[in-house]
Amino acid sequence: MNGENYEFLQPTLSEGGIGEEFGKIIARNEKVNAGEFLRWMFIEGEGHNATTHLEGKFKEFKIFEHYGSSWKIKVSRDSYSIGFLFGMMSDIQKEFNISEYSVI
C-alpha cells in the first residue's frame, strides 16, 4: 500500500474501517480481486488527498457523506465567491483525478 502515499489506508482494513471487507477476506487467507482492491485504494486515496487539500483552505470543513467514489462536503463560504470556488475545483480536478464536481 505504498508508492502513491496511500499508506494511511492500512489501518482502515480492520474492523469498523472503510476497508473492513477487504480486511476480512485477507484475514481468511482468501484471494482479493486485485482490480477491485486497486480501484478501491485509488478512489479512497485520491479522495483522502483531495479532501485533505481542501480542508486546509476553509475555516469550516465537514465530510457529511461518502459512498463509493462520491464525497459530499460542506465548507464555510469564507470570503470566496462562487466563481472562485469553481475555479479552485477546476484547478485541482486533474491533480486529484476528480471526474466531476458541483458547487452549490
Residue 89 sits at φ, ψ, to 5 deg, of: -65, -40
For residue 1, the model assigns a pLDDT of: 53
Chain centroid offset of residue 26 CA: 22
In what helix (H) or strand (E) does residue 71 lie, and over which residues does it extend?
strand 70-75
- pLDDT, residue 7, reads 83
Inter-axis angle of helices 34-55 and 82-93, to 10 degrees? 140
pLDDT in the model for residue 49: 92
pLDDT at 4: 60
Average pLDDT per run of 10 along the chain, which is 104 residues long?
70 90 93 93 93 94 93 92 93 93 86
Paired sense of beta strands 61-67 and 70-75, if any: antiparallel
pLDDT of residue 25: 94
Domain limits, the chain: 7-93
User: What does each C-alpha distance from 10 to 6, 24, 43, 78 come to in angstroms?
Assistant: 8, 13, 14, 34
